Amino acid sequence: MPFGNIGIGGLVLILIIALIIFGPSKLPELGRAFGRTLSEFKGATRDLVNSEDEEKEKPAAGQESVVPNK
C-alpha cells in the first residue's frame, strides 16, 4: 500500500469529504495546486541532497587534497 495504513475505504471517504467541502468545481484546481506544491518540494529536496553531496566531495577550505605516497 503506497499510503501507509490508509486503505481504499479511507481514501474514498477523504475524497467524499473534500467533494462536500470544496464542491466539484474546486477539486481540479486544488489537485493542480497540490501537484505543483509536491513537485516544488521534491525539487527543493533533490537540490538540498545534491548540494550536500557536492560539499562532501570538496576538500575543506585551506586544506589540500594530498595523495599518500606508497
27 φψ region: left (φ > 0), alpha (ψ -120 to 50), beta (else)? alpha
CA angle (66 as vertex; 63, 67 as ends), nearest 5: 160
Helix runs in the chain, H state only: 8-22, 27-57
Asked whether residue 20 carries a pLDDT value surpassing 50, the answer given is yes
Question: Confidence band (pLDDT; 50, 70, 90) for 1?
Answer: very low
Task: Name the one residue in this structure whose C-alpha cell is 560539499.
Answer: 55
> Does the reported pTM lie above 0.95?
no
List the chain domain ranges: 24-54
From residue 58, alpha-carbon distances to 46, 53, 70 in Å are 19, 9, 23
The per-residue pLDDT for range 22-57, each reduced to its tens digit, is 888 888 898 899 899 999 999 999 988 888 777 777
Question: In this structure, are residues 12 and 19 in contact, taking their beta carbons and an 8 Å threshold?
Answer: no
